């Protein structure tokens, strides 16, 4: 059988797709796990009013290196303003340092979406660490 020009291109591209991970090998399986995230606590340092600490509650796979955004609202009906960011550690704890003392009002921590992939040979598990919108507390 004679290969046409199009088949030669396909033969050249297929190995490249496997190297780049675009095409999955036969028998490979991907499992997607949805993981809920909650803000366990959020508190302000009452000595300086410049630090907000907190922690998230979720499965171990979704605790480390999650992005946290701290928002401020002057009143419950005001538009939220981003006042700081942080990244969680292995235990899910975070610390947001403000450039100036916190104002009286409402503060909330938002947790962003994160995707972690754990490989087991040819199989992999994709953990979709769900985002959590900010819930505001009066300080």
Domain boundaries, the chain: 5-138
Which pair of structure tokens corresponds to residue 16? 């490249």
Q: Is the pLDDT at 73 greater than 60, yes or no?
A: yes
Of the pLDDT bands very low, low, confident and very high (cuts 50, 70, 90), residue 104 is very high
Q: Which residue has the higher pLDDT, 65 or 24?
A: 65
Nearest to 58 by CA among 114, 97, 108: 114
- Whole-structure pTM value: 0.75
39-59, pLDDT tens digit by residue?
A: 988 999 999 999 999 999 999
Of the pLDDT bands very low, low, confident and very high (cuts 50, 70, 90), residue 96 is very high
Computed over every residue of the chain, the mean pLDDT equals 84
Looking up tokens 């000595």 gives 47
List beta partners, residue 42.
54
C-alpha to C-alpha distance for 76 and 86, rounded to whole angstroms: 23
DSSP 57-120: ES-GGGTTT-EEEEEEESSTTSPPEEEEEEE--TTSEEEEE-SSPPPSSEEEEEE--EEEEEEE
Domain 5-138 -> CATH class? mainly beta
Q: Is the pLDDT at 120 greater than 50, yes or no?
A: yes
C-alpha to C-alpha distance for 91 and 97, rounded to whole angstroms: 19
């Amino acid at each position: 059988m004679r290969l046409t020009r199009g088949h030669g291109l396909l033969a050249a591209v297929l190995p490249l797709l496997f190297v780049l991970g675009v095409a999955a090998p036969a028998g490979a399986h991907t499992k997607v796990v949805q993981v809920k995230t909650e803000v366990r606590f959020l508190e302000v340092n009452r000595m300086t009013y410049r630090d907000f600490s907190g922690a998230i509650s979720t499965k171990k796979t979704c605790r480390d290196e999650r992005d946290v955004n701290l928002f401020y609202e002057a009143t419950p009906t005001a538009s939220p303003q981003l006042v700081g960011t942080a990244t969680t550690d292995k235990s899910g704890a975070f610390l947001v340092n403000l450039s100036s003392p916190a104002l009286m009002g409402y503060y909330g921590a938002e947790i962003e979406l994160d995707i972690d992939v754990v490989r087991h040979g040819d199989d992999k598990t994709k953990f979709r660490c769900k985002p959590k919108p900010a819930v505001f507390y009066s300080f």
